[in-house]
A and B are shown apart, each in its own frame.
Chain A
Amino acid sequence: MTDTGASTQSIVEERLMPHPPEKVWRALTQPALIAQWLMQNDFKPEVGHRFTFRAKPQPGWTGVTNCEVKIVEPLRRLVYTWGDGTESDSGLQTVVTWTLAPEAGGTRVRMEQSGFRPQDEAAYRGASYGWRRLVAELQRVAAELP
């Protein structure tokens, strides 16, 4: 997690994958392939295309994530909005940026999800009582998440 601005935070996940960028790009942009590792979707790699990711509904969340494609630079960069604020009680609105960089031995794959507000992580602060018991549950829910 890194700070990206005065008031929002982001999550970064980055890995070197032993595959060429062409192949990683296909997995990131073809709906049938996206469904195999991320979620059911109606994605198209076209700027302005609105699409959804679909998962099982949870209390407080519809199971749907509304998205819009913002940037498509084949084999290099893909940006879409993630959440329009209507899907969950908390009104989460974030942006997901994928960056691919060829490297010896494969492709460096970087995902940044930005735009988390302070209240999006506030829940566990100050609640020192018993939250560890809920972490396992949290991970179970996360597996089926947005």
Chain B
Amino acid sequence: MNKPMRASAETLLFKTLADPTRRALFERLSREGELTVGALTRRAGVSQPAVSQHLEALRQAGLVRNRREGRTAHYRVTPRGLAPLTNWLALYSVFWRQRFDQLEKLLKEMDQ
């Protein structure tokens, strides 16, 4: 159904994000912008070498990129990293169901 290249890009993304520690690192970078390996390690609950390894996996999957300043590595999220996983039909189905719930709640409140 999919072209082989596309399927393997997806598989790599899924495999990469299936690891909870890695996913937590990715989410933090999504929320907080650019961070150093040191800053990421402080709240990761694993050692710095482990964090570096996870970051390298995220980098190879195209989810983050890094730059070096002297001995310090800075990481940030790649804007297009998650694009192959965006299933808009699935996302919007959930979205509208939730918004309809909120609309019904609002209409009830407008009575009062």
Determine whether A86 belongs to the interface, using a CB cutoff of 8 Å to chain B.
no
- The complex places the Cα of A123 from the Cα of B106 at a distance, in Å, of 34
Determine whether A104 belongs to the interface, using a CB cutoff of 8 Å to chain B.
no
A145 and B80 within 8 A (CB): no
B96 and A113 within 8 A (CB): yes
Chain B residues with CB under 8 Å of A19's CB are 107, 110-111
- The complex places the Cα of A90 from the Cα of B100 at a distance, in Å, of 25
Q: How large is the interface on A (under 10, 10 to 19, 20 to 34, 35 or more residues)?
A: 35 or more
Q: Mark A113-134, 1 if CB is under 8 A from B, else 0.
A: 1001000111111110111011
A24 and B89 within 8 A (CB): no
Q: Say what secondary structure dominates the interface of chain B.
A: helix
Number of interface residues of B (CB under 8 A): 44
**Contacts A23-B110, A37-B103, A88-B86; A126 near B7 (Cβ below 8 A):** yes
A13 and B80 within 8 A (CB): no
Contacts A33-B110, A89-B86 known; list 20 others, CB within 8 Å. A9-B89, A11-B96, A17-B107, A19-B110, A19-B111, A23-B107, A36-B106, A60-B81, A88-B83, A88-B86, A89-B79, A89-B83, A111-B96, A122-B6, A126-B7, A127-B7, A134-B85, A139-B94, A142-B94, A146-B95
